Amino acid sequence: MHQPIGVFDSGIGGLTVVKALRDLLPRENIFYIGDTARVPYGNKSAETVERYALELAGLLLRENAKLIVVACNTVSSVAIPKLRAALPVPVIGVIEPGAHAAIALTRNRHVGVIGTRATIRSGAYENALRALNVHVRVSSCACPLLVPLIEEGLLEDQLTDLTLARYLKPMMNDGIDTLVLGCTHYPLLAPAIARSLENAVQLVDSARNCASSVKELLERQSLAASGDAEGTLRVVLTDAADNFLSVARNALQLEIGDVTVQSVC
């Protein structure tokens, strides 16, 4: 069996990245770890997030992962440099692919970013966007209520629509023409977000763009799977998941199969 792509997230939101990888790279084996025992990461210190990230990456390396995909915007915003320095395999996060896509899409150079408090506080997207175009204007908004709504399965609900309007209307009125979904949960709300923005703003799905970057890296470094056999997906969680696993299965149409619960230690 060929080496898997190792993917981890603070919880189960990173399954949006797994879905994008499965669609784009159907021959690749994928080993996914969701740290459901310690989610959410968005309200934790950078030092704690770095420690958690190194622990999860270590688990993936023990599974012989050929590269590590950080399917978490919070971890990507604070821990990528430490992971790249410590690990013997390539590491890809979601920040840089999302920034590249946003710069390519924006026409008026005014980009919005939504994410967890930790992601927004880090300024990672602003830094990545301005590194690509010094003239870009960035409007950011922390949206702490969205992940709980998604995990409750309220993807098409009036409460979610009202919450989105509260977060997004000021950004739309301020003139953004592109919005980065800076949390891997958020693609599950893409239709509701598009409605809230009156379909007038282009959405950047960090999961899809991350998968494209993985494909390019595999080809560039000759790491892509050979043969025609369909790849496998193994999902490990650090604690039993509640109804969000069902939400992810139904919303993503992702065949997850059996899920193993495994301690980090």
Task: Respond yes or no on whether the N-terminal peptide bond of residue 144 is cis (omega within 30° of 0).
Answer: no
The residues pairing with 203 across neighbouring beta strands, listed in sequence order, are 179
Kindly name the residue from 143, 183, 210, 265 that is annotated as catalytic: 183
CB 119 within 8 A of CB 206: no
Cβ atoms within 10 Å of 217's Cβ, excluding its own: 16
CB 86 within 8 A of CB 58: no
The CA angle 52-53-59, to the nearest 5 degrees, is 95
Task: Please give the structure tokens belonging to residue 18.
Answer: 């797994």
Task: Respond yes or no on whether the N-terminal peptide bond of residue 40 is cis (omega within 30° of 0).
Answer: yes
Q: Which whole-number Å values give the CA distances from 218 to 1, 68, 101, in the listed order?
A: 17, 12, 19
Kindly name the residue from 72, 141, 210, 265 that is annotated as catalytic: 72
Q: Catalytic site residue 183?
A: yes
Cα(first)–Cα(last) distance of the chain, in Å?
Answer: 26
What are the start-end ranges of the E strands in 161-220?
178-182, 202-205
Q: Catalytic site residue 141?
A: no
Catalytically active residues, by annotation: 72, 183
